[in-house]
Structure 1
Amino acid sequence: MPRSEAGPLGVFGGTFDPIHLGHLRLAEEARERLDLEYVAFIPAGQPPHRDAPHSTAADRLEMVRRATASNPSFIVDDGEVFAAGKSYTVLTLERLRASIGPERPLVLILGADAFQGLPTWHRWREILQLTHLAVGNRPGHALPDGIPRGMASAELDALCNNHRDNDPTSVHQSPAGRIVPFDMTPLAISASQVRALILAGQSARYLLPEPVLQYIGQHHLYQPI
């Protein structure tokens, strides 16, 4: 993990089953809008909020490596893949904070839909003590002025109202504690859509990077058994 103090470190976790262009574009736009030095992609080993992934942790890690290899601002962290137990975000953030020290800003990148589920996360109230949150507005999941009513708990609504900062550069001013929304290009691509196309024998080209598509074909991932 780079230890330069030149800029905030973005953190982008997920199952990445498989990683696709929507993931990469979200990370790139967060990096640019918030002026992040790097974005660390962290594939989940054992995601706690989902069913078992359709491909192994080793395959998902390799696909992320291939997808990000051409971007020098993207790095890959395998800490969750090889950790014992569930892949809880708060534990990963504690590990990263211990690695980079108390002063360098951390920025956890989320879509607005994932942000609305924050109260279901393990030790979720501690997350803003460790990191900023960069919330990308996706189609149908905008975050205009706090949380849309009826879509989140009162606690999350209050959290957003107390910590929201519309200035993307604010993440450079402290190690953690701000919620910064940003608009992202609407790309309605999902991993489940990609898997369904491959399972049906249809083309998933132009939905995910070519090196990932090649890896899926070489290793017969997501295909009928």
Structure 2
Amino acid sequence: MKPLALFGGTFDPVHLGHLSVAWEAAELLDAEVRLMPANVPPHRPAPLASAEQRIAMLHAALQRQSRLSMDTRELRRNGPSYTYDTLSELRAEQGDRPLILLLGADAFAGLPSWHRWRELFDVAHLGVLSRPGVGAVLPSGLQTEVATRRVDDVALLQTLPAGKVIELAVTPLEISATRIRELLASGRDPRYLLPCGLFDDPALLAPYRTHGSIAL
């Protein structure tokens, strides 16, 4: 059974930086990867686009490929989007299938600020998306927690449902959703920062073209 990997974010809007690292992670892990838009992220302001608008953008971005898909369960949940709750729900659905939470290196370093963060290892592996040869400085509590959980062999993740940490060297594209929103609000066209499917329907990017202020 292939692992199921989850890549969360506001996707406000989804851009090529999101898609490229998700695609590379899917290849490195030989996994199904689901992009999971957050409802009310606990650590940042609410998205500018509505849940329905972000779903429409993701649907357009994910056309004509089969490796990446979308999971909208957090958008159907009231209140903050806590990752532990989502992974617990998926664990109940998926049985012993390996689950992998994909995180950027900076997000991983901030893991101790997350809700029930130590219990995440009970329900999933963690895949840390990092630049080749570059590692984040981890707080001491996190270093202690992951010291015995680190693995280098992707195949090992396929034999266990949860509990390990693996670093995945990917090629990050330095693309900022904030900058994209600024460009759209000023009437410019971020043509090569966004997936081409978002330009097929002018309504998809309307939330950013019709607002004078930018959600940072």
- State whether TM-score is above 0.5: yes
Please list, as runs of the form range in 1=range in 2, the aligned pairs for 1:29-178 lying within 5 A after superposition.
29-36=24-31, 38-101=32-95, 103-138=96-131, 142-143=134-135, 147-148=136-137, 152-178=138-164
Question: 3-state SS of the aligned residue for 1:47?
Answer: coil
Q: Percent identity?
A: 43
Q: Deviations over 1:85-131 (max 9, x none)?
A: 11111111011111111x11001111111111111111111001111
- Runs of 5+ unmatched residues, structure 1: 1-5
Q: Pairwise CA RMSD of aligned residues? A: 1.8
Normalising by structure 2, what TM-score? 0.91
Normalising by structure 1, what TM-score? 0.88
Is the contact made by 2:53 and 2:204 (CA closer than 8 Å) also made in structure 1? no
Closer, same or farther: CA 216–12 of 1 in aligned 2, 3 Å: farther
The equivalent position to 2:15 in structure 1, one of 15, 20, 27, is 20
1:207 aligns with 2:202: no
- Runs of 5+ unmatched residues, structure 2: none
Is the contact made by 1:63 and 1:215 (CA closer than 8 Å) also made in structure 2? no
> 1:220 maps to what in 2?
206
Question: 3-state SS of the aligned residue for 2:46?
Answer: coil
Q: Deviations over 1:59-83 (max 9, x none)?
A: 1122112111222122211111111
Is the contact made by 1:61 and 1:81 (CA closer than 8 Å) also made in structure 2? no
The farther-off stretch of 209-218 and 16-25 is: 209-218
The alignment covers a number of residue pairs equal to: 211
Closer, same or farther: CA 122–80 of 1 in aligned 2, 3 Å: same
Question: 3-state SS of the aligned residue for 1:39?
Answer: strand
Please list, as runs of the form range in 1=range in 2, the aligned pairs for 1:180-191 lying within 5 A after superposition.
180-191=166-177
